[in-house]
Amino acid sequence: MSVGGAPPSGGKRQAGDSSVDSFDRVEEDVRAGHLDRAIESLRADARRGADASRYLAWLEQRRGEFEASRETSEALTAADSGDFEAQLLAAYAAWFEGDLSAARSGLEQVIQATVGGGELGERARRSLESLEQQKLELVPVAAASRRLDSQFGITIVLLATLAAIAVVRSLRGP
Amino acid sequence: MIAWYWLTAFLSGAGVLVVEMSAPRALAPFFGQAQFVWTNVIGLILFALALGNVLGGRLADRRSSPRLLGAILIVAAAVVAAAAFLPAAVSRAILPDRLPLEAAYSFLFKGSFLATLVCFAPPVFLLGAVQPFLVRCATRRLEEVGRASGRLYGASTLGSIAGTFLTSYLLLAEFGTRGTMLLAAALLLASSVPAFVAGREGTSRKGGAAVVAALVGMGVAPFALREWAPGLLEAVPGAAWGELVVARDSRYQHLEVRLRDDLALPARVLAIDEGHDSFQSVTPKAGTWTGGLYYDYFTLLALDQARSGRLRVAILGFGAGTHARQLLEFVGGRCELSIVGVELDPEVVALGRQELSLPEDPRLVVHVELDARTFVDHSRERFDLIMVDCYNRQSFLPPHVASLEFFKAARTRLADDGALALNLFGYGARDPVVEAVTNTIAVAFEREVAVCAVPSTANFLVFARSSGELRLPPEWDAQGLPEEGLRLLQGLRAPAQCFRVGPRHDAVVLTDDAGILDRLQERRLRRRSEALLRSVP
């Protein structure tokens, strides 16, 4: 899956955000490839606003820190349940972690909340389609995996019993 | 008399090891050849042998008849012959259709265990009964037991040694996996003859003739098979996705060329061993770009490296030549280009030429039967770009081409401002394998490394320079790039698509000594697979 190359939307110079200068430095770091430094700067900024936090969650995702990205996004949605962009980021983070159920429920929430469309709703809808396709392909695999688990379990018990009988008989002597 | 038993012990010992060495190869097209597959095979075969020893001993005490021993060997031969045809059917029953590699761990681990148990444990169990029978039949007095059993165990072990070397160095390459299993059956059939002969009194001349005839028959069998039933020796198609074009067993692995219509561009791909949805080389039906697979991005890096007007490239893990085809087409016209390819498996390169449009070109030299590490350690050449794409077992990077020692040696092979580029597979940039390998390169080069996520894939292009500035894609030379190349470069220039990682001596550094990489690779595959399957009802 891909969450696309574009950072989250939203102006960075809104009230409540960290200072314009420090944000510019962060973006400069990202452009120069210093992702770790950019993430550290944003994390260290106690006064950062929602836009900067969304940007942080997105950067964490790009850096492969999916759990951290999920936490950052969930903190945003806890503070503002109408922050659908953060919800979408949390859903993507769950997807990256391989948690398809959490990703699906997150995407559905965004789609329901953005009824009537919009760019965000459209992105969520496309992602959900792709996720459903992946899930559909995995359903028979998961069923086969459960079958295999029980066959394997029974086999191990049988082999252990056989081994125990062989050992006991060997020890009993002629 | 003891000579006949000695011969039976030798031949049956060889048969056990031929079966054991062939088993992982027979399972490879479905379950791969990961360490755990070998562990399952060896463990279960030893378990079956042990059970056979115990029960064979009890049976021998009740009825120590050489004829019964001969009969056991004949049944074992029949079961081995059946086992030559079983793995495909059993594996297909275990594996679901279109199994993606990222969800496959449990199938590969548990499936290979069950398949070994069904296909290979029964004949080995029967063969386990042979040794105590031989000891019982060959001894008449208690004071002979030590000497007789010593000789017979020695003969059996010598047979096993012969079976090991013959299977690895001759039989698998010459006759394929199924052919080798059928030869093991012939071997066991032949080993029953001296047992029968030993059971008869006063027929030593006729017996000798029968044994010689059996041995000659066994020696002729493979050639007869090749002549009259070549279909039996053909490689069995495995679990890779797509329409089969050709399947082959090489000395090292199972190879398949398949036609895939589900990729960005319909293409022929080379799948190795279990394959599933992954592949090692790709040739699109039309054009040379691969529709955004990682090969395309390596070529963009090569184009940037070619700024000086000369590009000497080494491709380690040459495969069937996807990188080389792109370099010849897109870089060859812009600079003085020379390519040295290094590939362990000659059959892979042969398939590249026959099925995947790898051209003969004076600018391209491919060394086969040569390990990438050996090449780097002993080459005297210098390169402007070393591309490392050495994978075995699909997503498994061999530890000896991902260690500090390897990257340090590779650095000495780079010209000034030369680049080392590595294809890394991983679930995100914090994937422990991606982190460990990236840090190892950074420590070996004592400088920053660039990590670029290949858009919409689980591949990373990781590169470092021997000297000079580490240029990221936004600074790469885009002049004169064809339209598709420009589009791909734009993807790599997206914000935060590429980033720098510096050396960290307090983080994992992979060395030749520490076998940590295999553990990391196996653990991530297991965790990914479990997470995915857990989240599906």
- CA–CA distance, B384 with B310 (Å, rounded to integer): 8
Report the alpha-carbon distance of residue B509 to residue B503 in Å, rounded.
Answer: 10
The tokens describing B336, both together, are 């003085």
- DSSP state letter for B423: E
Confidence at residue A15, expressed as pLDDT on a 0 to 100 scale:
44
**β-strand partners of B338:** B312
- Judge: A64–B431 Cβ closer than 8 Å, yes or no: yes
Contact A64 B474 (CB under 8 A): no
Please say whether the beta carbons of B247 and B176 come within 8 A: no
Interface check for B494 against chain A (CB to CB < 8 A): the answer is yes
Q: Does A129 touch chain B (CB under 8 A)?
A: no
Provide the β-strand partners of residue A38: none
CB contact under 8 A, A33 and B450: yes
Instruction: Give, for A153, the enclosing helix (H) or strand (E).
Output: helix A118-172
What does the pLDDT read at residue A116?
65
Give the pair of three-digit tokens for residue B383: 């390169």
B114–A151 C-beta distance less than 8 A: yes
A-chain residue closest to B457, CA distance: A1
Interface test with B, best of A9, A31, A62 (most B CBs within 10 A): A62
- CA nearest to B303, candidates B268, B275, B270, B331: B331
**Residue B286 burial (CB count, 10 A):** 8
Q: Looking at the complex, report in whole angstroms how far the Cα of residue B430 sits from the nearest Cα belonging to chain A.
A: 5
Q: What local confidence, expressed as pLDDT, does residue B283 receive?
A: 97
| Predicted pLDDT at B148 | 87
Q: What is the pLDDT of residues A116-125, one digit of tens each?
A: 668 888 889 9
Sketch the domain layout of chain B as residue ranges: 2-233, 288-533
Q: Report, at the CATH architecture level, how domain B288-533 is classified.
A: 3-Layer(aba) Sandwich (3.40)
The pLDDT, as a whole number, for residue A19 is 57
* pLDDT at B427 exceeding the cut of 50: yes
User: A35–B50: do the CB atoms touch at under 8 Å?
Assistant: no
B459-465 sheet: strands from edge to edge: B364-368, B336-343, B310-316, B383-388, B414-425, B459-465, B449-453, B498-501
> What CATH fold (topology level) applies to the domain B2-233?
Growth Hormone; Chain: A; (1.20.1250)
* R_g of chain B computed on alpha carbons: 27
Rounded Cα distance between B477 and B489, Å, is: 10
Q: Are strands B267-272 and B383-388 parallel, antiparallel or unpaired?
A: unpaired
Burial class (CB in 10 A: 0-12, 13-18, 19+), B304: middle
Nearest CB to B499 within list A35, A163, A170: A35
Residue A1 confidence class, pLDDT cut points 50, 70, 90 = very low
Query: Once rounded to an integer, what is the mean pLDDT over residues B19-44?
Result: 93
Pair B122, B115: CB distance under 8 Å: no
Q: Are strands B459-465 and B383-388 parallel, antiparallel or unpaired?
A: unpaired
Task: Give the residue-averaged pLDDT of A6-22.
Answer: 55
What the block records as the tokens of B516 is 């940590």
Instruction: A106-109: list long-range contacts, CB under 8 Å, 24+ apart.
Output: A107/A131
Q: Which residues of A touch B453 (CB under 8 A)?
A: 62
User: A173 at the B interface (CB within 8 A)?
Assistant: no
A153 → chain B, closest CA residue: B110
Provide the 8-state DSSP code for B318. Answer: -
One-letter amino acid for residue B20 of the chain? E
* Smallest Cα distance from A44 to chain B, Å: 19
**What percentage of chain B exceeds 70 in pLDDT?**
98
- From the list B431, B496, B537, the residue facing A62 with the nearest CB is B496
Among the listed residues B44, B31, B128, the one whose alpha carbon sits nearest the alpha carbon of residue B88: B31
A126-140, B101-115, B181-195, B325-339 — which is least confidently predicted?
B181-195
Q: Which residues, in sequence order, are CB contacts of B234 under 8 Å at separation 6+?
A: B176, B178, B247
| Of B168-177, B260-269, B294-303, B501-510, minimum mean pLDDT range | B168-177
Q: Do B96 and A141 touch (CB under 8 A)?
A: yes
Interface of B with A in 109-138 (CB under 8 A): 110-111, 113-114, 117
- Residue A65 contacts B where some CB pair is shorter than 8 Å: yes
The Cβ-side half-sphere exposure at B46, using a 13 Å CA radius, reads 5
pLDDT digits (tens, 9 = 90+) for B103-161: 999 999 999 999 999 999 999 999 999 999 889 888 878 888 888 889 999 999 999 99
Please name the amino acid found at residue B357. S
Q: Is a pLDDT exceeding 70 seen at residue A6?
A: no
Top-level CATH class of A20-135? Answer: mainly alpha
Q: Is B62 on the interface with A (CB under 8 A)?
A: no
Query: Would the pLDDT of A47 be above 90?
Result: no
- Nearest chain B residue to A160, by CA: B47
Q: Which of B200, B194, B196, B145 is nearest to B10 (CA)?
A: B194
Q: Which residue of A has its CA nearest to B537?
A: A139
Q: Minimal Cα distance from A137: which residue of B?
A: B98
Between CA A122 and CA B92 the distance in angstroms is: 40
Per domain, the residue ranges of chain A are 20-135
> Cβ A62–B528 below 8 Å, yes or no?
no
